[in-house]
Amino acid sequence: MTGGAVWTLPLADVEDVATGTYWLRFECPAALECDPGHFFMLSSVAPGGGPFLGRPLSIGDVRDGGLGFLVRALGRATAWFRTLPPGSPVRLVGPLGRPFAPPERPLHRMVAGGIGLAPFFYLARRLRETQPQARLELIYGERSADAHAPLAGSERTLFDMVARCTDDGSLGRRGTVVDALGDELDGGDAAWYGCGPQPMLRALAGRLEEAGVTGAQFSLEERMACGFGVCQACIVPNRSGAPRYRLLCVDGPVVDPREVAW
């Protein structure tokens, strides 16, 4: 289990980056330390001021004294956050969960489906510091071009290569990120990371397993009420069967895909 505390932070700014997708940024308190892959529960400070429960959001980026979350408006809370004016206080509980634990490798491959892009900016930024010689690749898929985050400015330079794909072929290669990997998973020395919708991750887990890749790290998502192991909502079926379920909030959100009963 990690630490975590309750913070009330004023919203610094909201920036739209693609259809329905935006950065939610806060000033990052000096005392707040977090690693790529950690998440926070974000909620309304005033009871009744917004959706009742908090929402688990992966840390999107930490830089220049700011803490950012890349969010897609897919439901009640993610639409509500978008409407908040700068200065609005938001409750953040965290950092929570088990973050990425990147191994030392010459190549790091991040596979992102949709808003699964969220945790990879901060992961790449950290890898740039800790493994400056390593090559960082991002394979990023969306349904169509309008949903693609542009990766502006310093976000783009975080990666040595960005391969984009879309389901409808409107940008980059047509097909899923798993299709984009091709038949051969070259780079046996690569460290693999995945984040995205469950069907994509299931397919990716299958491909990596076929190719004999071990040690991949996937950041998963589940409904949760608390984020720190109490409500017992965020169960992930355990491949070994014992125990039957694990809690994503404390045993994840970053997990080894081989341990999940997809």
Interface with another protein by CB under 8 A: which residues? 1, 3-6, 41, 43, 47-48, 51-54, 76, 91, 93, 222-226, 228-233, 235, 243-245
Beta carbon nearer to another protein, 92 or 195: 92
DSSP state of 76: H
Environment class of 254 (CB within 10 Å of its CB; exposed 0-12, middle 13-18, buried 19+): buried
Beta carbon nearer to another protein, 214 or 232: 232
103 prior amide bond cis, ω within 30: no
Q: For residue 137, which phi and psi values (nearest 5 degrees)?
A: -120, 140
Taking the complex as a whole, the smallest distance from the CB of residue 2 to another protein amounts, in Å, to 8
Taking the complex as a whole, the smallest distance from the CB of residue 167 to another protein amounts, in Å, to 19
CA pseudo-torsion sign 74, 4, 129, 186? negative
Taking the complex as a whole, the smallest distance from the CB of residue 80 to another protein amounts, in Å, to 12
Partners of residue 67 on adjacent β-strands: 26, 62
For residues 33 and 88, is the Cβ–Cβ distance under 8 A? no
Taking the complex as a whole, the smallest distance from the CB of residue 143 to another protein amounts, in Å, to 17
Look-up: residue for tokens 């794909």? 165
Beta carbon nearer to another protein, 93 or 205: 93
Show the tokens assigned to 136.
Answer: 């960082």
DSSP string, 192-221: EEEES-HHHHHHHHHHHHHTT----EEE--
Beta carbon nearer to another protein, 163 or 233: 233
DSSP state of 242: S
Taking the complex as a whole, the smallest distance from the CB of residue 8 to another protein amounts, in Å, to 10
Taking the complex as a whole, the smallest distance from the CB of residue 243 to another protein amounts, in Å, to 7
Beta carbon nearer to another protein, 51 or 215: 51
Beta carbon nearer to another protein, 181 or 220: 220
**CA-based R_g, the chain, Å:** 18
